[in-house]
Structure 1
């Protein structure tokens, strides 16, 4: 019986580095990505008419209309452009 338990211990010790590496990859890659994804989802759900935003292409504008899948930006007076909601990168930072 002692031989079986030492074999199990040896197998565990042999695979321990791989388990450790898997945990490191989880905390360094997967978890931060999920955190960023949740932050982006909160940003997109918070969009409302009148918000100043920047698209992923660098277009600055004010939200004129928001639907579940599209957003209409007013980029100049009487110039409105429709974008997919996923094209919104961030809120425009306020300048003093």
Structure 2
């Protein structure tokens, strides 16, 4: 039967590595996810956005989980899911 001290010596490094994993990976990832979700919820018409594919355009319509983006000199419009947005490049106030 192994001694009690040797079991603790084997388990302690594993617990230490798991704690480091949580501190250095899980916590920052939760923070990034929270910021991204706030950005997605804050999308407004006329915001200039960049998609995950690198297309830059202006939001013309928002409906549920989808948005319509207008891009290019020909004013091409296309529909995409909100989670396809990588970043808001500029916020333009809507004229009233």
TM-score bracket relative to the smaller structure: 0.7 to 0.9
Larger radius of gyration: 1
Runs of 4+ in 1 over 2 A off after TM superposition: 9-14, 76-79
Match of 1:87 in 2: 84
Indicate the residue corresponding to 1:3 in structure 2: none
- Scaled by the length of structure 2, the TM-score of the pair is 0.79
- 1:48 paired residue among 33, 37, 44: 44
TM-score, normalised with respect to structure 1? 0.79
Which of 1 and 2 has higher RCO (CA within 8 Å, sep 6+)?
A: 2
Matched, 1:62 2:58: yes
Greater helix share, 1 or 2?
1
Residue of structure 1 equivalent to 2:71: 75
Deviations 1:60-84 (CA, angstroms, capped at 9, x unpaired)? 1110011221010111354211111
How many angstroms does 1:33 deviate by? Answer: 1.3
Give the secondary structure class of the aligned counterpart of 1:57: coil
- Give 1:16 shift: 1.7
Unaligned runs of 5+ in 2: 92-96
